[in-house]
Structure formats: structure tokens, C-alpha cells
Chains A and B, each alone.
Chain A
């Protein structure tokens, strides 16, 4: 029986698989993953900026100023992060 032979069955299965993959590739499979990604991107840069400002303040003794400046620089960096990953998503 040629129909029951393993080779034909394998061919049919492979055909099915490739058709399914073609259909799947049209939409991005990792869209939920990228959505999760964006959330912390903004916050983490603010945190890093503030920490850097705090450390620099301690070493130079300019108590409130550098932490303020670096906080806002961190905010800008966070927005840049989100912007970059949004750009990456579009490609």
C-alpha cells in the first residue's frame, strides 16, 4: 500500500507544517513579549539616572543638584529607550 507507507505520510505531514508556518509568519508571534518589554524600559533608566546622580552627589558634596539633573537625564534616557524599542518593533 503506497498510501500507508511511511514516506508518503511524512511528506504529507511536512507539507502541512510548511503551510501552517507560512500562515503563521504573517503576523508577529512575539507581540505579547514586546508589549511586556516596554513597561520596565522607561522606569529602569530613571532609576539608573537617579542612582548615578546620588553617587556623584556623595562624592562631590553638591547635595541636591546632581541628583536633580541626573533624574531628568534619566527620564530622557527612558523615553529614548521606549522610542528605540518601538522603532525596532516597526522593522
Chain B
């Protein structure tokens, strides 16, 4: 194994090279893990919703628990108006969660540790929320940038600040997930490397650190998926219930 802690983030091609014009669309290890997590989600929810018994089996329990978890989160943060967007937020949460969790398996690849993946997810959310806001409120959605009770002299400055604050949403959403996943996995690899280099005499301390970090990373993997979903809800709430 390579001792370079960043080696785990390498994207390499699996199978033949496929080109669409200038763009390389070959199947990579990143795409493989995205496919794996999507298929796992589909399997769990298909098996879980197959037969609806009053006393659920494990699969059904898993599916129902995650359903109530997300639906409660949506109604808490965005209200009843956001119910139609349940499936979108649910799939976002499940995808991020499973990508994070599959990254915790040794020798696997963490899809969400690449900023392009998280940025695409975040910009889809951002564009979707902006479009929903304009559909629901028309040009009145622009009132989001004009807070009430501001003196007219300060208005141009405030509007610019509000626009920057609005545009920073996808950046903060994507950077948070990416940075947490990458930092955690790098740290685990570094401590793993310490265990090897210090040998049987001094290797126990970094080993115990590694064990503790694994637990922390599983917590972070869940928490980041949760934060990603709850921020989607908050942005959706801003778009649906316009009040400043």
C-alpha cells in the first residue's frame, strides 16, 4: 500500500476508455461507488416496502425509521408546504449518507471527498431552490435581497452583501461536506501510517487514536448527511415562506 495519505482519493479508470467528444466519460472507481450506494438504497427500500406487516421485520423497520426521520425533519424546519419536495430531500440525504458510509469501509473510495461531487449536488439544490422561489413568488422573490428597515443610503451596499451571502450558499454547503470527509479520511490514514512506522513498541498510541477516529468518522459521516439535508430544508423554507 502507498504510504501517501492522499493516495486514497485517486480517481482511476475501470474498464475501457469512453469519450464523448472531448469529454472523458469512462467508468471510474468514483462512479462504481456511486452505483453501489444507489443500488444498495434501492434494494433496502424495495425489500423494506415489499410487504407491510404490522410487526415490521428489520428491512421494513429501517425503511420506515428513515422515512419518519426525514419527514419529521422537513415538517420541523420547512413546514407543511415543503411536503411535495420530500422525495428530493430524502434521496439527497440517503445518497450522501450511503456514499459517506461506504467510504468508511477499508479499501473503498469516498465519493463525497471530492469537491466536484458535492458541488454538483449543492448547485443542483441551489438552482432548484432559486427556481422554486421565483415560481412561487415571481419577481417578489428578489425581496429576499432587500431587508426591511434599511436607510436608503445604505441600500446598494446591503443589497450587494445580501447577494454575496445568497451566492455563498452552494459553496458553504459543498465545502462543508467535502472538507469534513477529506480531512477525516486523511487523518485516519496518517495515524494508520504512524502505526506502521512506530512498529510494535510505540504503535499502540496511534492505533488507539485510529480506533477512536473511526468512531468519530462514522458520527461525522452521518452528521454531514444530516446537515446537508437540513440545510436543503432551510433553503427551501426561505424560498417557500418568504419573510425577512
Which residues of A approach B to under 8 Å, CB–CB? 30, 32-33, 36-37, 39-41, 43-45, 47-49, 52, 70, 73-74, 76-78, 80-81, 84, 88
Chain B residues bordering chain A, tally (CB within 8 A)? 22
A-B complex: 3 closest residue pairs judged by Cβ atoms: A44-B172, A44-B171, A45-B168
CB of B223 within 8 Å of the partner chain = yes
CB of B28 within 8 Å of the partner chain = no
Instruction: Specify which chain A residues have a CB less than 8 angstroms from the CB of B14 in the assembled complex.
Output: none
A43 contacts B172, CB within 8 Å?
A: yes
Most chain B beta-carbon neighbours within 10 Å: one of A39, A76, A77? A77
Shortest beta-carbon distance from A23 to chain B in Å: 16
CB of B211 within 8 Å of the partner chain = no
A36 contacts B223, CB within 8 Å?
A: yes
A33 contacts B168, CB within 8 Å?
A: no
B164, B169, B227: the one contacting A36 at CB < 8 Å is: B227
CB of B161 within 8 Å of the partner chain = yes
| Supplied contacts A44-B169, A48-B168, 11 more A-B pairs, CB within 8 Å | A33-B223, A36-B176, A39-B176, A40-B175, A40-B176, A47-B171, A52-B164, A73-B160, A77-B168, A80-B161, A81-B172
Shortest beta-carbon distance from A79 to chain B in Å: 9
Instruction: Specify which chain A residues have a CB less than 8 angstroms from the CB of B167 in the assembled complex.
Output: 48, 52
Instruction: Specify which chain B residues have a CB less than 8 angstroms from the CB of A30 in the assembled complex.
Output: 226, 230
CB of B180 within 8 Å of the partner chain = yes
- Interchain Cβ contacts under 8 Å between A and B, 16 examples: A30-B230, A33-B227, A37-B227, A39-B176, A40-B175, A43-B175, A44-B172, A45-B164, A48-B164, A48-B168, A73-B161, A74-B168, A77-B164, A78-B165, A80-B162, A84-B165
In Å, the complex CA distance between A73 and B158 comes to 9
Shortest beta-carbon distance from B129 to chain A in Å: 16
In Å, the complex CA distance between A36 and B161 comes to 23
B224 contacts A47, CB within 8 Å?
A: no
Shortest beta-carbon distance from B226 to chain A in Å: 5
CB of B234 within 8 Å of the partner chain = yes
Most chain B beta-carbon neighbours within 10 Å: one of A43, A44, A47? A44
CB of B179 within 8 Å of the partner chain = yes
Instruction: Specify which chain A residues have a CB less than 8 angstroms from the CB of B18 in the assembled complex.
Output: none
